[in-house]
Amino acid sequence: MLRLIAKFFSGTGSRKAKSDHPEIQRARDFLQSGDLARAHQICQQLLVAEPDNPDTHNLLGGIALHQGDNQRAIEHFTKAADIDAAQPVYQQGLGIAYCNLRRLPEALDCFRRATELAPKDPATHGNLGNCHRQAGNPVEAEHCYRKAISLNAAYTPAYINLADILARNKRHNDAVKIYRKALRHTADTPENRTNLVLLHHRLGLALRELDATDEAIACYREAIARQPDFAPAHNSLGGALLAQNDLDAAMACFRKALEIEPEFSRVHSNILLTMNYMPGSTPAQIFEESLQFDERHARKLMRGREPFRNLRNKERILKVGYLSPDFREHSVAHFTRKLIGQHDREAVTVYCYADVDMPDDWTGQFQAQADHWVPIQDMPDDAVAARIRQDGIDILVDLAGHTSNNRLLVFARKPAPIQVNWLGYPNTTGMRAMDYRLTDEIADPAGDADRLHAEKLVRLEHGFLCYQTDDPMPPISTPPCRKNGHITFGSFNALRKVTPDVIRVWSQILHSVTGARLMLKAKSLEDSTTRSGLVNAFAEHGITAERLEIVNSVARRHDHLDLYSRVDIGLDAFPYNGTTTTCEALWMGVPVCTLRGDRHAGRVGASIMHRVGLSELVAETEDGYIDTACALAADDEKRNALRKRLREQMQESPLMDIALFTRSLETAYRQMWVTWCNKSH
């Protein structure tokens, strides 16, 4: 909302002021150019001559807003409105100041008065909509934006904000229509350059949500053509290319975005995440890039920290905070959804810092289990860190790492004496502020893994994963090969895990097993270019399209799991293994062959299979992986026995023993706490 200040104080929506002489205009010009000192000096001189000039108080209010002094702004805007109650611009300025102070009922009153004073001015309705959004009233905000557009079909800010509301409510088709309408009505002039860039970029984001990846890429490229130094468009283009499995091109886009905007920490996280998918990125290279993230974005935020005041009592109940954007139906949640409620309240008090933009039923389940639920999606990093300190958190756990929507820069501020990374990201954060990372001896064997982590590795005795599910499940099906007359291999992993090496090895398996088919399911495969690219990649290894079964994503989890009834054997990806997908396959009676790699991301499969008692399906080489898959395909008796018993075998294994896992986790937390207590102050 603050970006509209200049317009508010240029007289929009107001009639000519009574004492509007050249000095008033000079002050406005200085304010708009950013020379606050000159603007303020002129206004002070004007007040001496005309202490009750409302436009002078209006300008002083604007100056105060730019300086962050909202209380002084309120005093000046109130004075201006008292002198001339007919001016909507004074009410809008007052509304902005109240919004900045989170005094939203008062802000709404001001913006409503502005719309009453200038009912045909689209800006007044747009700003009332902005306030409703901040107050959590999306329906009212949508009405305001549509009213603004009806008054002026070329009022671009209302289109942008309306489409954003629609997108946040998963009405992506409607958002696309609004963006396209805005582009039709926004003149291609230098004055509209910024808005046009923003519209093309946002249209691309909405199209990506609809898996119209080619169209999205065209939008991002149009935004870049109009403004080559617009880093967000380069970042978004990288994300779209990553979805199409063009990892090298995606990395080039991310690097360009970071070159343009070196402080763009989220794009640096994208670089690190992408490196984990790339076979050519060594663990040492990923570690060095992680340290660069710390050096560039995080380390400076630790300066000036106050000493922690947490009571150093080794036996007391610990305040443990979990911070995540994924307290919702998400792959990470399959390993945390029961944990919050499972914690022993005589040992732990649980705080959940929820950065969830779109809550769902699972969000409610998480919230019901937490002792303290703190929504942080609208809070800046420094405010989140301050709240964590205020809450007196002893151990703060990050569940995202360098994945999307992370809050690593909260952790960079070191708001808790002990900070732990776990689960969401398969590598080191690289951050000095992160004390520990939870893993196990299979996923991260002692040795190189310790040297290539900024955090101290804590290896949980019974594994770092605990699969948690209680949904109504489809029954285990009969082996599909009995009906089909051939073996069906399957992988439901994200397509970016299906590297050229994976395609080469899977093709060898298909050549070795007569008549075998491969079923692939990934959300990005709904894009025609992505789908044809995958088919062509297999064709290069002699696998025709008829031997591939490509399945679109399904809306319901039950339907997703039911697709495993069509798979005989699961094939894991490498060097980035599946996690949730592997557990889901096993749960549905589908054995999974995996290849042990040289890093955590490539050893998760081995960890899972060991915990569930299927270590014989873990291969050490590509040839061994091929042999394992082919041998299992040839052994009907073993496959049938596994299909019948795997679900029960999982339930009885450490992989699903939530009580055992939670006690192991709490033991680790207590050891961390005792270590901290033993340190000198």
pLDDT, tens digit, 9 for 90 and up, residues 556-568: 889 999 999 999 9
The pLDDT score that the predictor gives to residue 554 is 87
Provide the CB-side half-sphere exposure for 136 (13 A, CA): 7
pLDDT at residue 22 tops 90: no
What is the rounded average pLDDT of the residues 42-64? 93
Give the pLDDT mean for 45-56: 92
Q: Which residue has the higher pLDDT, 5 or 478?
A: 478
Average pLDDT of the chain, as a whole number: 94
Domain 1-152 has CATH 3.40.190.10: no
Those residues whose C-beta lies under 8 Å from the C-beta of residue 612, and which sit 6 or more positions away, are 586, 646, 649, 650, 653, 655
Say if residues 395 and 672 touch (Cβ distance below 8 Å): yes
- CATH 1.25.40.10 residue spans of the chain: 1-152
Residue 123 pLDDT exceeds 90: yes
Cα-to-chain-centroid distance, residue 606 = 27
Mean pLDDT throughout 594-605?
97
Indicate the pLDDT class of residue 3, thresholds 50, 70 and 90: very low
Written as one letter, the residue type at 88 is P
The burial class, CB within 10 Å (0-12 / 13-18 / 19+), for 358 is exposed
Residue 552 to residue 520: CA distance in whole angstroms: 9
Q: Using the structure block, give the residue that is written with the tokens 């108080």.
A: 57
Q: What percent of the chain has pLDDT over 90?
A: 90
Q: What pLDDT is attached to residue 384? A: 98
Contacts of residue 568, defined as CB under 8 A and 6 or more positions apart, other chains included, come to 479, 480, 481, 487, 488, 489, 490, 590, 633, 639
pLDDT in the model for residue 680: 65
- Model confidence at 473, pLDDT cuts 50, 70, 90, reads confident
How far are the Cα atoms of 398, 426, 446, 600 from residue 441, in angstroms, in the given order?
21, 14, 7, 10
Task: Answer whether residue 15 shows pLDDT above 80.
Answer: no
Q: Can you tell me the distance from the alpha carbon of 673 to that of 668, in angstroms, rounded to the nearest whole number?
A: 9
The pLDDT score that the predictor gives to residue 273 is 98
571 phi and psi angles, rounded to 5 deg: -115, 120
CB-CB contact of 576 with 603 (8 Å): no
Res 8: pLDDT = 40
Which position has the token pair 């004496």?
417
CATH 3.40.50.11380: which residues of the chain? 313-459
Maximum mean pLDDT: which of 157-171, 283-297, 461-475: 283-297
| Contact in structure between 407 and 430 (CB atoms under 8 Å) | no
Check residue 552 and give its pLDDT: 85
Q: Per-residue pLDDT for 302 more than 70?
A: yes
> Cα dist. 100→71, 161, 264, 343, 490 in Å?
10, 18, 25, 38, 53
CB 424 within 8 A of CB 350: no
Structure confidence at residue 681 as a pLDDT band (50, 70, 90): low
Instruction: Please report which confidence band the pLDDT of residue 1 belongs to, taking 50, 70 and 90 as the band edges.
Output: very low
Q: Tokens in use for 525?
A: 């495969």
Say if residue 338 is exposed, middle or buried (CB neighbours under 10 Å; 0-12, 13-18, 19+).
Answer: buried
Kindly state the average pLDDT of the residues 656-666.
98
Confidence (pLDDT) at 378: 86
3-state secondary structure 549-603: EEECCCCCHHHHHHHHHHCCEEECCCCCCCCHHHHHHHHCCCCEEEECCCCHHHC
388-414: average pLDDT: 98
Residue that has been written with the tokens 């901040």 in this structure = 134
Q: Is the pLDDT of residue 649 over 50?
A: yes
Cα Rg of the chain, angstroms: 29
pLDDT digits over 101-119, tens only? 999 999 999 999 999 999 9
- The CATH classification number of 480-654 equals 3.40.50.2000
**4: pLDDT confidence band, cut at 50, 70 and 90?**
very low
Q: What is the pTM of this model?
A: 0.90
Question: Residue 182 has which token pair?
Answer: 């805005």
Tell me the C-alpha distance between 206 and 173, whole Å. 8
pLDDT exceeds cutoff 70 at 328: yes
Q: Is the peptide bond before 575 cis (omega within 30 degrees of 0)?
A: yes
Helix axis angle, 122-134 relative to 104-117, nearest 10°? 170
Distance CA 77, CA 96 (A): 10
* Higher per-residue confidence, 347 vs 471: 347
Alpha carbon distance 64, 56 (integer Å): 12
**Lowest-confidence pick of 31-45, 271-285, 500-514:** 31-45
- Of residues 527 and 205, more confidence is placed in 205
Fold of 313-459: Rossmann fold (3.40.50)
pLDDT tens-digit readout, 383-395: 999 999 999 999 9
The structure tokens listed for 43 are 């206004």
Give the model's confidence band at 20: pLDDT under 50 very low, under 70 low, under 90 confident, else very high.
Answer: low
Q: Where in the chain is the domain with CATH 3.40.50.2000?
A: 480-654
Alpha-carbon gap, residue 358 to 102, rounded angstroms: 22
Look at residue 188 and tell me whether its pLDDT is greater than 70.
Answer: yes
Read off the amino acid at residue 347: A
Buried-exposed string 119-155: b where 16+ CB fall within 10 A, e elsewhere: eebbbbbbbbbbbbbbbebeebbbbbbebbbebbbeb
Token digits of residue 432:
């000095």
Complete DSSP assignment for 170-221: T-HHHHHHHHHHHHHHS--SGGGHHHHHHHHHHHHHHHHHTT-HHHHHHHHH
Does an H or E element contain 61, and which? helix 54-66
Alpha-carbon 107 to chain mean position:
30
Sheet of 318-324, strand order: 372-375, 348-354, 318-324, 395-398, 418-421, 436-439, 456-459
Q: 574: buried, middle or exposed (CB in 10 Å: 19+, 13-18, 0-12)?
A: buried
